[in-house]
């Protein structure tokens, strides 16, 4: 079953109130993890100590409308505590603990005919292929999730020579870096998570790509650009909200590829983007869809 997770960096005193808000908002489960590297040794009897910096994660069904849920949680938490909700991010959940699975079991994967995604701790199977060396770190995007795989296969099938690409919601940087390795001239990556921006920068360096070719920005800070190719692998509701922005950043005749969309959400997203784009037939992998089109 596909899932979305909300990660919130909290102080232990905030745990109960935020956990209750997440559960009341439809979270199926809430977990607590160490937000840094502070071990807890044997606690006193009857106590449940938490780390000084704790990461609280709420798990939601992927069809949940996070565009409505998050503002509601923010409003209710402000009313309860008088303080804004701590730093948080919403992301698609990989199908398992991929950081651990990669270290133990992962082998390079081929997408399309040319593009290999290789864990940074293993040698490529074909040194002469287009090899993207990746360490996902703290950001979504390993190639294992269907949404990312659909976008990688699409990129491999395109002529990327000298193209300007926008990767909106760049995560680990996997799609933007793939575009550059396949021949793109310049990529503008945008993400609202500072950890994702750092992962994108690190993976850019890992692939020996000059940092000025992969420009990385928070939303609202990206330069005015008319992209030859617009990529957005996020979630259906943000894609709908962002449609005027993504359309305005795509040149006439430019290509669009969208993912992070469940099967039952595809028609609504496609209809929204058809205001600006001639949409292609959709592609599906498991429960997830990829939409693409050409700007009129």
- Extract the tokens encoding 59: 């798990």
Helical H runs in 11-145?
A: 15-24, 66-81, 98-105
Question: What tokens appear for 133 in the block?
Answer: 């060396």
Residue 183 annotated as binding site: no
Burial class (CB in 10 A: 0-12, 13-18, 19+), 137: middle
- 105 marked ligand binding residue: no
Residue 159, annotated ligand binder?
no
- Residue 261: φ, ψ to 5°: -120, 125
Is 277:293 a contact under the CB 8 Å cutoff?
A: yes
Question: Any residues with CB less than 8 A from the CB of 187 and at least 6 apart, and which?
Answer: 164, 165, 166, 167, 176, 177, 179, 180, 213, 214, 215
Nearest partner of 257 among 148, 171, 177, 180, judged by Cα: 148
47 known member of a binding site = no
Residues annotated within a binding site for S-adenosyl-L-methionine: 148, 169, 191, 233
- Binding residue positions: 148, 169, 191, 233
């Amino acid at each position: 079953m596909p899932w979305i997770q909300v990660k919130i960096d909290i102080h232990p005193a905030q745990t109960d109130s935020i956990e209750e808000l997440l559960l009341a908002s439809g979270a199926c489960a809430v977990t607590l993890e160490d937000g840094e590297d502070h071990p807890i040794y044997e606690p006193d009897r009857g106590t449940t100590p938490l780390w000084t910096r704790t990461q609280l994660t709420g798990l939601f069904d992927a069809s949940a409308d996070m565009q409505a849920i998050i503002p509601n949680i923010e409003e209710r938490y402000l009313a309860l505590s008088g303080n804004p909700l701590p730093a948080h991010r919403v992301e698609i959940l990989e199908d398992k603990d991929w950081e651990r699975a990669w270290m133990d079991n992962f082998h390079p994967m081929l997408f399309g005919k040319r593009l290999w995604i290789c864990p940074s701790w293993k040698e490529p199977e074909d040194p002469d292929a287009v090899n993207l060396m990746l360490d996902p770190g703290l950001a979504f995007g390993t190639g294992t999730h269907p949404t990312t795989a659909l976008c990688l296969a699409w990129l491999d099938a395109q002529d990327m020579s000298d193209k300007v690409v926008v990767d909106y919601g760049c995560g680990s940087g996997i799609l933007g870096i793939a575009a550059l390795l396949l021949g793109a001239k310049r990529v503008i990556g945008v993400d609202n998570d500072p950890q994702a921006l750092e992962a994108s920068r690190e993976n850019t360096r890992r692939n020996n790509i000059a940092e000025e070719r992969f420009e990385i920005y928070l939303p609202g800070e990206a330069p005015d650009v008319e992209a030859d190719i617009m990529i957005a692998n996020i979630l259906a509701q943000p894609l709908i909200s962002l449609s005027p922005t993504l359309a305005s950043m795509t040149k006439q005749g430019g290509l669009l590829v969208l993912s992070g969309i469940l099967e039952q959400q595809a028609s609504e997203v496609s209809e929204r983007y058809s205001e600006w784009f001639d949409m292609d037939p959709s592609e599906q992998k498991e429960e997830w869809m990829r939409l693409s089109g050409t700007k009129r």
